[in-house]
Structures are given as C-alpha cells and as structure tokens.
Structure 1
Amino acid sequence: MTTPAIRQKIARLAAGGRPRVLDLFSGCGGISLGFHAAGFEIAAAIEHDPDAAKSHGMNFHKSDNRHWKARDITKTKPAELTKELDLGHPALAFDVIVGGPPCQAFARVGRSKLREVADHPEAFRHDDRAELYIDYLQYVEACSPLVVLMENVPDMLNHGGHNIAEEVCEVLSSRGYVCGYTLLNAALYGVPQMRERMFLLAYHKGIAEGVSFPAPTHWIELPAGYDGSRAVALKLLANVSENERSDHYTPPPPPKRPLPPAVTAAEALGDLPALDARKLLAEGMLKRGARRFDQPLPLALPDRLPDFAHQMRNWQGFEGAQTVADHVIRYLPRDYPLFARLEPGDQYPEAIACAEKMFEEALAAMKAQGNTIRKNSPAWKMLRASIIPPYDPGKFPNKWRKMEADKPSRTLMAHLGKDSYSHIHYDSAQARTISVREAARLQSFPDGFVFAGTMNPAFRQIGNAVPPLLSKALAAAIRAQLDDALQGRTIQQKKTGQR
C-alpha cells in the first residue's frame, strides 16, 4: 500500500528535490559521504560516540552544531530528532534510511519475535541485545523511507544460529518493501582495501519491484581466506532445503574483465609525506602521549599522481589542502627496528622469529664487547623485553601484518584505535605502523574529510566506517533506481493524461 507520505515523497523527488538521508549508527560518516557524493542530501544522523558524532557534524553540517551532538538511538525518538533539527514530521523528513545496528544486538531475537517487533516492541525490552534492532525498525516505521540500506559484518548471515539479514527482510517485506542482501568486497569498488561486508537493500513497493546491487568497477583475485570467511557466513543458506531457500539473498555481482586492477596500497599512500619513525624518535619529535592534529605537514605536488591519490586530494566538497594535519603515528620505540626487517606479508609468527634473531644478535654484540649476560638474569630479561614483543604467536597469529605495496591492504578493524599493528607500512625505511591519514586513505576518505578528537578516537572512527567509495557505488545504484521509478511514473502519467 502506498501511503500519503510515500506519495508526497515521490512527488517531491519528481519535482527535482534531492533525496534526503537519515544515517543511523552513522559513525563519522562513511556511508553518508558516499551518498553525498552521489547527490543525496545528508539530512540527519544518530551516533552515540561523541567524537564520531562531532566528526559527522563537522563534515556535513559545518555551520549547524545541533548536528554535532551525540545521540543515543534508544533514548531519541524520531519525533524528538526531527523537532530538534527543524525537519518537520518524521514521516515526511527522510527519503532514505541507512546504517546498521551492531550485530551483537540481534543474537537472541527469534524469527517469530522479529515478525512482531514493530507491532509489540515493548514485549522484548527485557532483551537488551534486541533493543537496538527494535529502535532501528521503529525509525523505519515512523519515517516511511522509500529506501533502506543496512550494512554489517558477513557473520550477520550466520550469527548465533540466525540469518539476521533474512529475518530483517521478512520484517521489511511485511511492511511493504522488496528486499535483498549480498556480500560485497570493497576492493572491487575502487577501495584500496580487501574489506568484505554484508549489505541489505530494501525499496518501498511503490517505487521498485526488485533489488539489484552495483557491478564491480575493479578486479582482484581475493586471497583464499576471504573465500573461507564467506563460506562460513553463507553456511546457513547452504544448509537449508530447496523449499526453504531464501529468495532474498543475491550472490555478489561478479567482476567482468577487462576491469582496472584493484587499487594498491602504494597507489593510495605513496604520495603522502614519508615519516621515518626511527629518525623522528632520535630527534625527539616522536614521544609518548596523545597525538593531536596540530602539526601540518606539506604535501608534495608531483607532476603525475595515481588516479586514486588524485581523487582523494580533489574529492568535490572535501578537497584537501597543501598540507595534511592528521598524518600522525603511534609511539612504538621497541618495534621500529623490527618493522624495518619484516618482509611484506609477514605476520606475527614471522615477527617473533625475526625478533628472536635480533635478540641473539644483540647478545652476540654485547659478548663481542666483553659483556656476557647470563641467561634469565634480570639484565637478560630486560634486554629481551626491549626487543621481543610479549604476545603468544599461537594465540595471536594475525595480530601483526606488514602490508604489501602492490596489493590492497587487508581489512582495517576498529581496534586500530588500540594498536594498528595489523597495518605496518610496506616501506621498511619508514619502519612504522600507518598514520591516521593513511588509514583514512585506505578506507577511501578524501583528504578534506576531518576527524574530531585525537589519534586514538580517529583510528577507531576510521576502522568502524563503511568505505565511502563503496557507499558511493551503492548510492549511485539507488539513485538510478529512484530516477528510473520517477521516469516511469512520469511516462505513465502522460499516457493517462494525469498531472
């Protein structure tokens, strides 16, 4: 059924209005940025983390600090949000809702409960993990969007014995939407990172009869580990009978050669200023403590930039300056010499083996100078701790990884805010982990996009984000679907003599 609110929204878009986006669980704005680039208006966002909420507001509502405020979706009702931001009635304020509740919120919400959630939300308030999902659905119910886009980890398809994406589709289908979901890898869409995520897309039946996802723009042969992770995520789908098989899941659109190769780490980072961590440490320029973005570094202006770097410097509305202020790195003095000796692709077991060799070399050098240290003595233990990281390689095999210059990076994680050892710079001369701006580049945030807070909060915001270029590809597909629907309505109105 097409409601008056849906009809009004369609009429507004048909008259040339820009589609308005509400970003729930927005973080700093990775999804929002992609939609902004595709011509959507970022009308509002809800994000509970103060630094991320401020980042979103600073980038999309520079002159209106009402949008900079952190908001808790469990305490902020749709009518309260739209009233506070002067956006009118919730049912008319937004055309598109994007975002994704944390996956752990869904663990014990059964399929029968999900079907009833919009009608009887209070019945499940005792289950805290269901609450965020309930609030998300309440926003969809109150705001009547034309389009819903949800993003989450692939394990959402196999989380605690539930295919949450399928269950979300069932609820949205009962509310008048056509739905589909798939798995997309960011490297296939121009992002210099092999990041796999689930995307669920729903259109109101008044504007679409089916769902499709954007075709890849780049090509790469993904490492075997990604196939394994995808197989685990799809296990529930693979094990259902033919009669129970989902009609909502869509296999990822395959890349069709010839396509340009995936963007590499060197193409993404090579134009940024070199930071020799050991030199900075020796000169006293790198110290323990919070890293603020108050020391801009000049950017080189080469005659020829890689296409990706050029795009990051010249993103419309988010153009970079001739300096970069958030190109800051972690204080890790023990590990800089070890970083320098690792080979591209090395992980923690290789790092430990290399560190053990460095320790033996240090012992031999001291012995050559007549200073033999007895094994397990306090001096021996102190020297060992100054060279060898303390983590068990059996428990943390993937904790470290040195990037390869000629490949996209592996997935950036939220724990970048704690260590960033998962992304050691490929340039051994620099001997360090990546900077905040380099992490932003690997996620495809342009140089003019700013992050609130200091280094650790910025790393966390970046690691949690949806890559803007992947979001842009989805947004462009959605915009094309909206335009096609509006064009079809215009033609039909002309045929029937309607105005």
Structure 2
Amino acid sequence: MTKSIHLVDLFAGPGGLGEGFSSIRRPDGSRQFKTLVSVEKDPAAHRTLTLRAFYRLLHDSGMSMSAYYDYLQGGEHPSKRTDVQHLWKLASEEALCIELGSEAGNRCLEERLRRELAGCEDWVLIGGPPCQAYSVVGRVRNRGNKHYRPEEDKRHFLYREYLDVIAKFRPAAFVMENVRGMLTSRIGQKRIFGQILEDLHDPTKATGHEAPKCLTGSMEGYTIFSLEDDRVYFPRTTGLFDTPSPLEEGEYNSFVIKAEEHGIPQARHRVILVGVRNDIVRCAGAPTIATNLRMPTTGDDEKLAVEQVLAELPPLRSGLSRQDSDQTWYAAIKRVATKVANELLCHPSEYLTTTDRERIAAELRIIAQTPREGLKRHHEPIAVSRPVGPTTELEKWYHGAINPNSKGLWYNHEARSHMEEDLARYLYCATFSKVMGYSPTGTKEIYLDYLAPMHANWKSGKFADRFKVVLKDHPSKTITSHISKDGHYFIHYDPEQCRSLTVREAARLQTFPDDYYFEGNRTEQYTQVGNAVPPLLARRIAIKVQEVLDKKKETRIKEPSPT
C-alpha cells in the first residue's frame, strides 16, 4: 500500500482547505492526503484546528467516536481522557499555534519541516495568506488613513512566508487562496499580482533559496495554473528555459473561482492559484495538466439555493438585548410588526407601489396576529432516530461521521440577541424579500423613518447594503468575517424567526460538515467561518490535484529502467 501524500497547511484558519483535501479516501479506505502540519496563529481557530485533527485521527483509529461527540455535548475534553490522550497528543503536534512572519514562528516551522519532509518530493502545500491588505474594503479603509503606505504594510507581503516554504522545500504542487482584490491591488503603479506570479514561478530567484539537493531537478520552478480556463497558465512558453511571457491583466480573472458554479450554496469568488513543479509539468506537458486541472461547472439550474441547505436546521427565534424571554420576544415581534405595517400603509414610496406596500403589510399583520409558537433561541443537540439515512452526496457530506440513523446533532446553532429597533428592520427586510423576491436596498426601499438607524450618514447612500437578506431561492452572498460584527448583512429569509444567521447556518453555507465544531466564543466562531475556504470546494480542488500527481506516478511506471 502506498503512503498518503503529505499535506502542509499554512494560514489554516479553522481548517477548511485541509478538511477538503483530507476527505478524499483511497479504495482501501485510507486518506489520499494526510495533514503533516497545519499552522494558525489565532488561538480560537487553532483550538478548532486541533480538535478537527483529533476527530480525523480518532475516526481513522477505528475506535468509538464517543470521545469526540461527548465533548461536543458538554463532556470531558479529549485531552483529559486516558483512552484517547495519545491521539490528542498527535493532534496537538499536527496543529501549530505560531505566527508566520515572526522569527520564532518561522524557525519553529522550518525545523519541523526539515525533520518531517527529509527526502520527500511528492507533498502538497495549501493555504491562504491573510488578505486584509488586498481586500477592497481594507483598501478603502487604508485610503482614509493619510499616513498609510502600501509598501510599508507587511500584510502585502505575507505571501512571501508561503513562498519561502515553497522555495526551501519544493512541494510537488501547491494551492494558494486569496480574495479577488489581490488581482487589482497595487504598490505604486504596479499590480502586485503579476509579481506574485513571477515569484511563485521562480522561487529561487524571488528568495535566494536553493531547492534541496536531494530533489530531482533541483533548479525546477513552477507553472501556475487556472482552475477555470485551461488556456491560462504562467508561464506560457514553448520550452522550460524560454523567458516567460507575462499574462495580460485581462487574463487575471481566469484565476477566480466562483464557488456557486461548483456545487457550493454561496456566491463566493476567490483567487485560487495551483502551482505544479516543472519536473512534473515537463513529463505531462503544460497543456495536458491545464486540461486536467480545469474544474467542471454547474449550470444555473443546478446551483444550490440557500433553502436547500438550511431548511433542515431547527428554526430559532432571535433574542432581545434586554430582558429576553419568550414572552417579551413575542410581545416585541407583535409590536414592531404592527407598527411597521401601519407605517407602510400611511406613507407612500416612489419606489414601491401601493399594491406592494399592502402585500408586505398584510404579511406583517399575519405575523403580529399569529406568531409561530415554540421557537427556541438555542438548539440542544440530541440524537433522534431517522427512518432513512442520508442518500445524496451532499447529505452524506453534511452528515460527517454522525450515525446515519440519527439526526438532530447540530452544533453552534444559537441565535444572536438584537435590539428591538433591529428586530423591526430584520422583520421588515425579511418580509419584503418574501413578498418581492429580492432584498430591499438602502433608503430607497427601507424608507420609513421608523426603520432608519441612528446613523448620521444613513441617507447619504453610502449604506445601501447595510441590511441584506440571505435569499432562500438563490446561492447565498459571500459569508465573510464581518458576520462576527453584526448580523445586518446576513438576515435569515424567514421573517417569523426574525434574526440573523447562526454560526451553524453560516457554516452550512460554507459547506462545513455538521459535526465540525468551532471553538471560542460566538464572535470568534463567526470569524473563523467567514475566513474559511469552503471544504467541499477544497475537496473538488483536491481531486484535481490528485489527478495530476497520479499522472506523474503513471509516467514513472512507463519510463524504462536504466540498463
């Protein structure tokens, strides 16, 4: 039996990329990719990463999963249980809480990789260097700071920590993820993305680090491939030793993966670069590898909608920031629903017809008169039997290692508390979306004075997207780390629940399995989910990377042995 392919995960967050790669099994049941080390500096995300490493080790050991699920339901931490302490120790060695870019963090990682990767050629590097300096929102914020200098912002260059690992240890392939803003970010007049491509293509030139002498073709660089367009890769040359021709800036968008086109219930658009070492490229040919890596897309009628992945979760009510109870919440809902309905009927709008206002008001009156009974704020994970286990690929993916004859084990599913003023806005926006089929826009359609937030610039037009509903009939908008700040941009489509998304709902839209537990407080959990790569998308990428590495093995087998 061949060994699993070593996986190194940098800037891992809670482990979305690693989860996707680790999910691929070989015919004998073993993992195709096995994480050697993962690195994350945030303590809460690191705890999540370690716990999931333990989950995989426990699952692969053949032991009962009770040590994991007991902990999730309030039991003893796995590190305290004598029966699984050896597995927790291995998980703790796999997940490192260090800061890349710091002297101590870089030294710790390099020592570990030199020890673990000695003589290993065919391993894979994955990760997403922090993106605050590249994101559009981050750049707008930086422009407001007169003292900001892009060339002095070290976050622009954190990809070089990733690059250093490539230069020193030369993986067979790497996958680097970042925000779309990376394509347009500039230092001076030069787009940084072109420089990133050049650096990844020739790590020795970019860093001065030679490849390990044990590696065949030690001077080999990389070809960087698009997963969307097999005509786009860098460098495009007629031979390995030709001067690479730069890509046109218009071709940069070919490196953007649109998650909703690959079976993910979310319109998440991210830059994904796949680099393949040139000794492998030379054997198969760049055009062949480009074709192998191109990911098939789904048609518009096959895209997953929000309701398809959230409808199964138990409905919850939001909480009240002050004096919350079932009675006070229901009283508040009746009060704001009646108030908004009356205001709608009394105040015309140049953007809404009388008929539309009447339809929205009618829905609000129904909620005020007969609110849904029995809603809880927090789902208690308790296993109940199900007559039929998960059948579709997606159902099995979400179910994880949970007993297929059970359901009800949903974790991190608790609603936030909101001020009564926000309940009114959420209720109106969700009801508007239910009636109109789209989310209302700023002061044009959220026009009532009663709904206006206490913000001096509300009517300036700068906050048109401050309140947005996650529509049930479409893929979700991008789940971002901003969801940790407030729920205004992620309002649940069901007005009767009158709330923002829970951590579990956001995690489902990110395609994390239901037994993927997020450590930390709720704000930290939201941040982890928002920063992650969707694991199911990562799995689809991993399958493509595996195909390329399999072709390398086939080429080796066909090569004649030396006489």
* Fold match by TM threshold 0.5: yes
Offset from partner CA, 1:451-473 (integer Å, 9 cap, x none): 11021101000101111111111
| Aligned 8 A contact 1:321 1:448 in 2 | no
1:149 alignment partner, SS class = strand
Scaled by the length of structure 2, the TM-score of the pair is 0.63
- Separation in structure 1 between the aligned mates of residue 387 and residue 471 of structure 2, nearest angstrom: 23
1:271 to 298, 303, 312: 312
2:476 to 400, 409, 432: 409
- Separation in structure 1 between the aligned mates of residue 3 and residue 382 of structure 2, nearest angstrom: 41
Closer/same/farther in 2, CA of residues 130 and 389 from structure 1, 3 Å limit: closer
- Separation in structure 1 between the aligned mates of residue 156 and residue 5 of structure 2, nearest angstrom: 30
Offset from partner CA, 1:153-173 (integer Å, 9 cap, x none): 112111025443332221222
| Aligned 8 A contact 1:274 1:430 in 2 | yes
2:179 to 153, 160, 174: 153
**Cα drift, residue 34 of structure 1:** 0.9
- Separation in structure 2 between the aligned mates of residue 271 and residue 306 of structure 1, nearest angstrom: 14
1:432 to 478, 489, 499: 499
**Cα drift, residue 348 of structure 1:** 5.0
Amino acid in structure 2 at the alignment position of 1:277: S
Q: 1:451 aligned to 2:518?
A: yes
**Cα drift, residue 278 of structure 1:** 6.5
Amino acid in structure 2 at the alignment position of 1:35: F
2:398 to 313, 320, 343: 313
Across the aligned residues of Structure 1 and Structure 2, the Cα RMSD in angstroms comes to 3.4
- Separation in structure 1 between the aligned mates of residue 486 and residue 225 of structure 2, nearest angstrom: 36
Q: In structure 2, what is the equivalent of residue 261 of structure 1? A: 302
**Cα drift, residue 305 of structure 1:** 6.8
Scaled by the length of structure 1, the TM-score of the pair is 0.70
| Aligned 8 A contact 1:149 1:200 in 2 | yes
Offset from partner CA, 1:383-426 (integer Å, 9 cap, x none): xxxx5422415121112211221111111111111112211111
Q: In structure 1, what is the equivalent of residue 23 of structure 2? A: 37
Q: In structure 2, what is the equivalent of residue 166 of structure 1? A: 194
**Cα drift, residue 105 of structure 1:** 5.6
Equivalent residue pairs, number: 393
Map residues 102-251 of structure 1 onto 2, 5 A cutoff. Answer: 102-103=130-131, 128-129=154-155, 131-160=157-186, 161-175=189-203, 176-181=221-226, 182-208=255-281, 209-210=285-286, 211-212=289-290, 213-220=293-300
Offset from partner CA, 1:180-230 (integer Å, 9 cap, x none): 24111111111100010111111111212325343234223xxxxxxxxxx
**Cα drift, residue 323 of structure 1:** 2.1
Offset from partner CA, 1:75-94 (integer Å, 9 cap, x none): 34566236558953567497
| Long gaps (5+) in structure 2 | 25-31, 56-87, 136-150, 204-220, 227-254, 330-376
Closer/same/farther in 2, CA of residues 460 and 162 from structure 1, 3 Å limit: farther
Q: 1:54 aligned to 2:139?
A: no
Offset from partner CA, 1:87-107 (integer Å, 9 cap, x none): 535674971111122245689
**Cα drift, residue 47 of structure 1:** 1.1
Closer/same/farther in 2, CA of residues 86 and 137 from structure 1, 3 Å limit: closer
Structure 1 stretches of 4+ moved >4 Å: 76-79, 82-87, 104-107, 278-281, 292-295, 297-309, 316-321
2:424 to 324, 337, 340: 337
| Aligned 8 A contact 1:214 1:473 in 2 | no
2:477 alignment partner, SS class = coil
Amino acid in structure 2 at the alignment position of 1:455: R
| Aligned 8 A contact 1:330 1:433 in 2 | yes
Q: 1:324 aligned to 2:388?
A: no
1:421 to 488, 512, 515: 488
Closer/same/farther in 2, CA of residues 273 and 106 from structure 1, 3 Å limit: closer
1:202 alignment partner, SS class = strand
Percent identity between the two aligned chains: 27
